[in-house]
């Protein structure tokens, strides 16, 4: 049995700072609080979480840019604290955004510089640059200056840079953030191509549909803790089922809510106000409950609107994050 590509146990990271008058007050911020995860070879593993949850901190620790405060993290079988140099030669890191490239030279010249930094042999360098440019669809624009590139083109060069030394593991931190739909779709296609070639990918994103489309398994990180980890189907079961039924009306009393909770398979009801109307979102585990059952449970509601759909990853994510916040 092969070792996990990423393995963490009780991983923590604490930031110490000072604030107040003359910075006399010490502030202790726990960015990560006992994170445990495993990522297998060839997997596309997604990490989701709200801003400030600790996603970037965790990614930087795994990519050897930060040291953990306590606990252990092993990447490709190596310890991130004591064997960082050996790890760096075998991983790639792509951060979202436009920084990290030299704007006044061409994309090809950028890649030549980074290939030297990564130790790509000179005899193979030109051929490898051509390979990654073709892979990311930038061959025709390779000799234009980076300052002339669109944001999507810059992100492609970032990806090419991360792939130059043929990493076994690729960290992608918000790889499609701010891109137009066409560019984002092409980046997702590239990620699928890399995964089919055996590259293990650790992906952080705010885009639920992107994670659902790409990832074999997903974890949800909030307040420095992983609150759930599974496939999308497994996460659906965790929050209460594949079916989501939305019921809108002019207010629901506690008796009506109790009748709905008693219906077969109803595992969770979320209440939201929309002006004078109220929406109930029901997570349903079984097929028995129908629209007719819901209407029969709410006989005094004269203007009900009922819609059924498949539970999405966004539904799952919001359930898990809101549950942790309560």
What integer best gives the mean pLDDT of the chain? 90
Q: What is the pLDDT of residue 22?
A: 64
Q: What is the pLDDT of residue 186?
A: 86
Give the pairing of strands 44-48 and 217-222.
parallel
CATH topology of domain 241-310: Alpha-Beta Plaits (3.30.70)
Interval 257-270: pLDDT, tens: 999 999 999 988 98
Least confident of 9-23, 137-151, 284-298: 9-23
Q: What is the pLDDT of residue 13?
A: 96
Give the Cα separation of 36 and 20 in Å (integer).
Answer: 35
Sequence ranges of the domains in the chain: 6-235, 241-310
Q: If phi over 0 gives left and psi between -120 and 50 gives alpha, with beta otherwise, what is residue 166? A: left
Residues 92-112: what's their mean pLDDT?
Answer: 88
Position 1 confidence tier, pLDDT thresholds 50, 70, 90: low
Give the Cα separation of 220 and 227 in Å (integer).
Answer: 6
CATH number, domain 6-235: 3.40.50.300
Q: What is the pLDDT of residue 99?
A: 75
| Secondary structure element (H or E) that encloses residue 94, with its range | strand 91-95
Position 112 confidence tier, pLDDT thresholds 50, 70, 90: very high
Residues 112-134: what's their mean pLDDT?
Answer: 94
pLDDT at 233 over 80: yes
Residues 219-246: what's their mean pLDDT?
Answer: 91
Give the Cα separation of 296 and 259 in Å (integer).
Answer: 10
Interval 188-208: pLDDT, tens: 998 999 999 899 999 998 889
Give the Cα separation of 224 and 226 in Å (integer).
Answer: 7
Interval 64-96: pLDDT, tens: 999 999 999 999 999 999 999 999 999 999 886
Q: Which two tokens stand for residue 199?
A: 């590259």
Q: What is the pLDDT of residue 32?
A: 96
Q: φ, ψ for residue 112 (rounded to 5)?
A: -65, -40
CA-to-CA separations, 267 to 41, 92, 123, 222, in angstroms, rounded: 35, 42, 62, 22
Least confident of 88-102, 182-196, 198-212, 298-312: 88-102
Residues 260-282: what's their mean pLDDT?
Answer: 91
Interval 39-52: pLDDT, tens: 999 999 999 999 88
pLDDT at 155 over 60: yes
Angle at 243 between CA 237 and CA 244, to 5 degrees: 110
pLDDT at 240 over 70: yes
Q: Which two tokens stand for residue 119?
A: 């130790």
Position 170 confidence tier, pLDDT thresholds 50, 70, 90: very high
pLDDT at 37 over 90: yes
pTM here is 0.85
Give the Cα separation of 161 and 108 in Å (integer).
Answer: 10
**Comparing 6-235 with 241-310, is the CATH topology the same?**
no
Q: What is the pLDDT of residue 237?
A: 86
């Amino acid at each position: 049995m092969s070792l996990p590509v990423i393995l963490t146990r009780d991983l923590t990271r604490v930031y110490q700072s000072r604030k107040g008058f003359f910075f006399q007050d010490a502030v202790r911020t726990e960015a990560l609080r006992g994170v445990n995860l495993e990522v297998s070879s060839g997997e596309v593993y997604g990490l989701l979480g709200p801003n400030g949850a600790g996603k970037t901190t965790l990614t930087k620790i795994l990519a050897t840019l930060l040291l953990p405060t306590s606990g252990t993290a092993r990447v490709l079988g190596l310890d991130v604290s004591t064997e960082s140099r050996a790890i760096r030669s075998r991983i790639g890191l792509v951060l979202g955004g436009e920084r990290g490239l030299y704007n006044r030279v061409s994309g090809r010249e950028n890649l030549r510089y980074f290939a030297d930094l990564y130790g790509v042999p000179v005899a193979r360098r030109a051929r490898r640059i051509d390979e990654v440019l073709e892979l990311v669809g930038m061959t025709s624009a390779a000799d234009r200056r980076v300052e002339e590139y669109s944001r999507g083109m810059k992100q492609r060069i970032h990806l090419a840079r991360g792939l130059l030394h043929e990493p076994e593991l690729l960290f992608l931190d918000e790889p499609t953030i701010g891109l137009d739909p066409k560019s984002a779709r092409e980046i997702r296609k590239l990620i699928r191509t890399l995964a089919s070639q055996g590259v293990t990918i650790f992906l952080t994103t705010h885009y639920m549909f992107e994670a659902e489309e790409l990832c074999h398994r997903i974890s949800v990180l909030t307040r420095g803790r992983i609150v759930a980890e599974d496939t999308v189907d497994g996460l659906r079961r965790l929050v209460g089922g594949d079916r989501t039924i939305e019921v809108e009306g002019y207010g629901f009393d506690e008796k009506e809510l109790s009748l709905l909770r008693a219906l077969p398979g109803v595992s969770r009801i979320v209440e939201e106000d929309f002006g004078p109307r109220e929406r109930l979102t029901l997570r349903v585990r079984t097929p028995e409950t129908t629209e007719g059952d819901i209407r029969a449970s709410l006989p005094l509601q004269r203007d009900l609107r009922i819609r059924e759909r498949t539970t999405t990853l966004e539904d799952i994510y919001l359930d898990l994050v809101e549950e942790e916040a309560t």
